[in-house]
Amino acid sequence: MSSVEKTLSIVKPDAVERNLTENIKEYFLKNNLKIVKEKKIQVSKDEAAEFYRVHQTKPFYDRLCNYLSSGPITVMILEGENAIKENRRIMGATDPKNAEDGTIRKKYGISIDKNSIHGSDSVENAKKEIEFFFKN
């Protein structure tokens, strides 16, 4: 079954720093995901910690929060058929070393930490994450 969904994408600091936002947006557009909202911001460490709360028990949590708050990011709402799963497919595996050919992380990811992009992983989390960055 297919349905039109919205999902949250974040171009992470390593990719914004290398001016890759427009290149990454091309991947979405080529794959029929529309960018319905977009803003460039920087989050505080506390905001990053709140955003990544699901990972709070993981050994990499502190590093992850420091990293997300280390520089500007571009947050976007993407919309399209099965947008959540489609976006995850286009992103590629979490560790760029394992990412499939043709994916964003394969092309631009530097390491499991600096993997260039975030994407919501479920309908429930997409809703929460969109709300987190685009409250109104």
- Kindly list the residues in this chain that would bind ligand IDP in the complex (CB under 6 A): 55, 60, 64, 94, 112-113, 115, 118, 121
Min. distance of Cβ 35 from Mg ion in angstroms? Answer: 20
Which three-class secondary structure state does DSSP give residue 73?
A: strand
Min. distance of Cβ 58 from Mg ion in angstroms? Answer: 11
DSSP state of 100: P
Structure tokens at 1: 């079954």
Min. distance of Cβ 119 from Mg ion in angstroms? Answer: 7
How far apart (Å, rounded) are the C-alpha atoms in residues 31 and 90? Answer: 8
Neighbours of 41 (CB within 10 A): 11
> For Mg ion, which stretch binds (CB under 5 A), given 15-23, 57-65, 78-86, 121-129?
121-129
Q: For ligand IDP, which is the closer residue by CB, 1 or 53?
A: 53
How far apart (Å, rounded) are the C-alpha atoms in residues 61 and 91? Answer: 21
Structure tokens at 68: 């997300």
Is 55 catalytic? The answer is no
How many residues appear in the chain?
Answer: 136
> For Mg ion, which stretch binds (CB under 5 A), given 11-19, 74-82, 98-106, 120-128?
120-128
Which three-class secondary structure state does DSSP give residue 74?
A: strand
Residue nearest to ligand IDP (CB): 94
Question: Residues in the site for Mg ion, rule: CB under 5 A?
Answer: 121
**So which residues are the catalytic ones?**
118
